[in-house]
Amino acid sequence: MRVAGLHARASLRELMRMPGYVVPTLGFPTMFFLFFAAPGSDDDATTLMVVFAGFAVLGVAFFQFGVGIATERATPWERYVRTLPVSPTQRFGGRIISALVFAAAAAALVLVAAVLTTSADLRAPQWGQLAVALLLGSIPFALFGIALGYLAPPRAALPIANVVYLTLSYCGGLWTTPDELPDAVQQLSPYLPTRALADTLVGIARGDPIQREAWLVLALYTGALLALAAWAYRHDEGERYR
């Protein structure tokens, strides 16, 4: 745990000193919210706030895991770190802690911007539920990011992550609310993990009971993506470290 913390601290330091990473990762979802969601929002301000918070957390899951792993995996530094007495679990622990910090910051920015500029608001227990839902709901996406990081060539990871991130976010209803999507997208949407995430978040915003079906979908995706991520990780080890 101590070693995982040290790796997290090093990774946070490294990233914090790269404005080119920090500003877009943290600012992009908030900017999107302020441009496209906040104007004209009224009754649905709270719903829009929570789905955009989901959008923000997803970005960190895709980019910090996916793009981060893909670009690091080919570096001499990564090869060197693998000769240190550190286990893969400790390294993943470090990655997760550092991603959590960024995800929390990105989501907090959206929430603050929404509360300040729109009529969005939640009751105290709802804020707590939102935090838990964002944390649990982002797990399958972090796993997808890990799989992408180990499967995609370093230069391809960023464009792939972008396309998947934006497409899934839109089709899942993280930029509008799920029921405002065009018909064609509505047909596809229920099968997407982002839609399940959106449903859980919207449920919390509306004070509905727990969205069992959406959570089940997320759990299924988590299982499948865990298998894919584990396979991708071992495949990488196999290719380069047999």
Partner 1 sequence: MTAVARLEGVSKSFGQVCALDDVSYEIPHGEIVALLGPNGAGKTTSLSLLLGLRRPDRGTAQLFGDDPTRPVTRRRLGTTPQEMAFPGTLRVDEVVDLVRAHYAEPPSTESLLGRFELGALGRRQTGGLSGGERRRLAVALAFAGAPELVVLDEPTTGLDVEARGAVWQELRLFVSSGGTVLLTTHYLEEAEALATKVVVIDRGRVAAAGSVDEIRARAGAGRISFRREPLPSNLAGDVSEDGDRVVIHASHPEEVVRQLVHTGARLQDLDVRPLPLEEALRLLPRGS
The residues binding partner 1 (CB under 8 A) are 2-3, 6-7, 10, 13-14, 17-18, 75-77, 79-80, 82-87, 240-242
Quick one: 18 or 220, whose CB is closer to partner 1?
A: 18
CB 105 within 8 A of CB 24: no
Quick one: 206 or 240, whose CB is closer to partner 1?
A: 240
CB 106 within 8 A of CB 20: no
- Report in angstroms how near the CB of residue 22 gets to partner 1 at its nearest: 11
**Whose CA is closest to 174, among 191, 192, 198, 196?**
198
* Six token digits for residue 18: 């790269």
Quick one: 123 or 242, whose CB is closer to partner 1?
A: 242
Distance from C-alpha of 99 to C-alpha of 209, rounded to nearest angstrom: 29
Distance from C-alpha of 48 to C-alpha of 50, rounded to nearest angstrom: 6
Quick one: 17 or 123, whose CB is closer to partner 1?
A: 17
- Report in angstroms how near the CB of residue 45 gets to partner 1 at its nearest: 38
- Report in angstroms how near the CB of residue 81 gets to partner 1 at its nearest: 9
